[in-house]
Amino acid sequence: MIYGVLRYAPTFYNDLEMKKQSLLIPYITAGYPSKKLFIPILKTLSLSDSKANFIEVGVPHSDPLADGPVIQESSKIALENGVTLRWIVETLCTTSLQRGIKPLILFSYLNPILKYGFEKLLKDLPKPLFYGLIIPDLPLEEAEKYLPLFKKHRLNLILLAAPTTKKTKLKKIAKMSGGFIYLVAVTGVTGERKKLSSDLKVKIKEIKSFTSKPVAVGFGIGNAKQAKEVISFGADGVVVGSAIIKLLKESKNNHRLLKLKKFVKTFS
Please state which CATH number belongs to domain 9-265: 3.20.20.70
Mean per-residue pLDDT over the chain, rounded: 88
At residue 193, does pLDDT exceed 80? no
Angle at 217 (CA atoms; ends 268, 103), nearest 5 degrees: 65
Max Cα-Cα span within the chain: 50
9, 35, 221, 225 from 180: Cα distances, Å:
8, 30, 18, 23
Mean pLDDT score, 136-151: 96
* pLDDT surpasses 90 at 102: yes
When pLDDT is averaged across residues 235-239 and rounded to a whole number, the result is 96
What is the predicted pLDDT for the residue at 242?
Answer: 93
- Taking only the tens place, the pLDDT of each residue in 29-47 is 999 999 999 999 999 999 9
Percent over 90 (pLDDT), the chain: 76
Is the pTM for the entire model greater than 0.75? yes
The pLDDT of residue 9 is 40
126 pLDDT higher than 50: yes
Cα separations in angstroms, 118 against 50, 108, 112, 141, 195: 32, 12, 9, 16, 38
Q: Which residue has the higher pLDDT, 150 or 11?
A: 150
Catalytic residues: 56, 67
**Hey, where are the domains in the chain?**
9-265
Contact 58, 30 (CB under 8 A): yes
Rounded alpha-carbon distances, angstroms, from residue 122 to 78, 94, 115:
23, 17, 13
pLDDT value of residue 29: 97
The whole-number pLDDT of residue 194 equals 54
Which position has the higher pLDDT, 80 or 97? 80
pLDDT at 189 over 60: no
